[in-house]
Amino acid sequence: MTLTCNQLLETYPDLWRDATRHPFLDRCQAGTIEPQQFNTWLTQDYLFVTEFTRFLANTLAAAPVAHFDVLLGGLNAIRDELAWFRDKAQERQLSLDSAPQATCEAYCQLMASWSVQPYAVQATALWAIELAYNQGWQLPGVMVSPYDEFAQRWGNPGFTEYVKQLEAQANERLAGASEDVQGQAEAVFQAVARQENAFWQMAFIQGC
């Protein structure tokens, strides 16, 4: 049987709900998130995105040429995103030199370990990581300022379209993958969901 991205969402609805629905996001929507908690997320997410850039580059290196367009578009967008994170940190007078917290480090290490897995697994991880933010920032509904800018970054129609393209590319490769590789893709999807939930939670546990 062929595994698809949609089947993964249908097989693990609770895990995926916990990855994309979290009090952190609801409080951003309502404007009640503590600035310190938001700043923790912001500085840690910058560190995550720097490592995610390496993961995306490794995925591109393993991809068939037909997938280059979408992945190069993603890398181009990340260049802007990293600069945007630096702007947001400066506005808030935050240093981006802070050390990664344990939760962030664990996610980054896992991601690095996926870089040596078959391309179908990497493509599935990439789709899941991007979908988590695409859905997570949209599900609470319209956010108040200044958090609306963050919701817009990952919830805008262009980003939603990018995530759909990632899904199509992952599905295409999963269709030709062995059962073993499909099993690896399923495990990686579950890991992404767990790590995403932990990442939201990090802002509440450790403060800034």
DSSP 177: -
Count CB neighbours of 144 within 10 A.
12
Site string for ligand MP5, 54-93 (x = CB under 6 A): ------------------------x--x------------
Q: How many whole angstroms separate alpha carbon 5 and alpha carbon 154?
A: 19
First vs last C-alpha separation in the chain: 46
Query: Which CB, 49 or 139, lies closer to ligand MP5?
Result: 49
Which among 6, 17, 23, 46 has a CA at the least distance from the CA of 205?
A: 23
Cβ proximity to ligand MP5, 57 vs 78, nearer residue = 78
Q: Cβ-closest residue to ligand MP5?
A: 133
Task: Name the amino acid, one letter, at 203.
Answer: A
**Are the beta carbons of 170 and 5 closer than 8 angstroms?**
yes
Q: Using the rule CB under 6 A, is 45 a contact of ligand MP5?
A: yes
Q: What crossing angle do the helices spanning 119-136 and 102-114 adopt, rounded to 10°? A: 140
The residue (of 132 and 181) whose beta carbon lies closer to ligand MP5 is: 132
CB atoms within 10 A of CB 152: 13
Candidates 19-27, 42-50, 59-67, 182-190; binding stretch for ligand MP5 (CB under 6 A): 42-50
CB of 23 to ligand MP5, least distance (A): 16
Looking at the Cβ atoms of 174 and 202, the one nearer to ligand MP5 is 202
Tell me the CA distances in angstroms from 182 to 118, 169, 186, one per residue in order: 10, 14, 6
Does the protein bind ligand MP5 through residue 198 (CB under 6 A)? Answer: no
Stretch of residues binding ligand MP5 (CB under 6 A), selected from 21-29, 46-54, 65-73, 87-95:
46-54
Per rule CB under 6 A, is residue 52 in the interface with ligand MP5?
A: yes
Which residue, 81 or 148, has its beta carbon nearer to ligand MP5? 81
Q: How many Å apart are CA 63 and CA 55, to the nearest integer?
A: 12
Applying the rule CB under 6 A, the residues between 101 and 140 that interact with ligand MP5 are 129-130, 132-133
Provide the binding-site residues for ligand MP5, judged by CB under 6 A.
45, 48-49, 52, 78, 81, 129-130, 132-133, 196, 199
